[in-house]
């Protein structure tokens, strides 16, 4: 029988080997964890824009009703303000004359899906079809192909973000919600927007909310009195050389361009 005598030198050697093994395993797990975290990192749409300019965008979602659309066009025309309407493909197909009227008035008509589903519940192919079909219907009515997409219900995931990017489009949310769909008093809508708006904000309205036409003139007047220039969303965001922080703010670098 052989007896192994551990000298101090041998003990140090064994301990070093053990430590090296533990360290190797630890680093391997750390690398896997980092890779997993990177692959699972949540992609974020554009909620607002970092800018020193007093620019702001008003946007309207149109999914169902159409009774108030022309009224909104008339109000915006009175103030010489151009905005963005995110319309559902089925809406564009049902009301092509309104799409034409919006385009003729200088507003941009953009994509809000084809049938207003919860997009993350769909497969990637179904997501692509929702976006593509809506684009086709808007282009048929207006002659213009949209570059902006707003997910129904503001509901998104990485698969949707990647699908939007693959179509060379920008995914747009909002940082100021009028909550007009809850039918608050017009004065409440005005207070909510004017108290939350900042340079680079994107404001959300709905074309069918009953109190929006009453509130809209006061909103526009208040913003203009504060020195804001109201522009369509595509003229507010940067098209390249930017990052998006955790709050959804689009941050340009020195080479960014609108």
What are the extents of the domains in the chain? Answer: 9-41, 48-257
Q: Which CATH number fits domain 48-257: 3.40.50.620, 3.20.20.370, 3.30.1490.20, 3.30.450.20?
A: 3.20.20.370
Distance CA 140, CA 136 (A): 6
Q: What is the percent of the chain with per-residue pLDDT over 70, rounded to a whole number?
A: 84
61, 114, 175, 180: the catalytic one is 61
pLDDT in tens, 92-102: 999 999 999 99
10 Å CB burial of residue 137 (0-12, 13-18, 19+) is buried
Contact 152, 63 (CB under 8 A): yes
Q: Which one is catalytic: 107, 112, 116, 206?
A: 206
Residue 39 has pLDDT above 60, yes or no: no
Indicate the SS3 state at residue 92.
helix
Question: Can 107 be counted among the known catalytic residues?
Answer: no
Residues above pLDDT 90, as percent of the chain: 83
- Interval 126-136: pLDDT, tens: 999 999 999 99
Catalytic residue at 61?
A: yes
The residue ranking higher by pLDDT, 20 or 156, is 156
What dihedral do alpha carbons 157, 160, 166, 171 form, nearest 10°? -80
């Amino acid at each position: 029988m052989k007896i192994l005598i551990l000298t101090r030198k041998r003990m140090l050697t064994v301990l070093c080997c053990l430590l090296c093994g533990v360290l190797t395993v630890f680093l391997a797990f750390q690398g896997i964890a980092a890779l997993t975290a990177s692959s699972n990192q949540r992609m974020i749409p554009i909620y607002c824009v970092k800018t020193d300019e007093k620019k702001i965008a008003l946007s309207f979602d149109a999914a169902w009703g159409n009774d108030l659309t022309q009224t909104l066009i008339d109000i915006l025309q009175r103030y010489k303000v151009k905005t963005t309407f995110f319309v559902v493909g089925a809406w564009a197909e049902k009301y092509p004359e309104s799409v034409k009227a919006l385009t003729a008035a200088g507003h941009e008509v953009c994509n809000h899906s084809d049938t207003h589903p919860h997009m993350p519940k769909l497969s990637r192919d179904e997501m692509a079809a929702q976006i593509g079909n809506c684009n086709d219907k808007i282009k048929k009515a207006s002659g213009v192909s949209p570059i902006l997409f707003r997910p129904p219900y503001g509901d998104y995931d990485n698969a949707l973000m990647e699908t939007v990017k693959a179509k060379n489009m920008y995914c747009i949310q909002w940082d100021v919600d009028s909550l007009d769909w809850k039918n608050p008093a017009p004065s409440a809508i005005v207070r909510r927007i004017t108290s939350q708006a900042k340079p680079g904000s994107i404001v959300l309205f709905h074309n069918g909310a009953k109190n929006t036409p009453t509130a809209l003139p006061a909103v526009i007047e208040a913003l203009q009195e504060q020195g804001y220039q109201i522009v369509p969303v595509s003229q507010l965001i940067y098209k390249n050389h930017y990052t998006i922080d955790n709050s959804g703010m689009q941050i340009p670098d020195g080479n960014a361009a609108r």
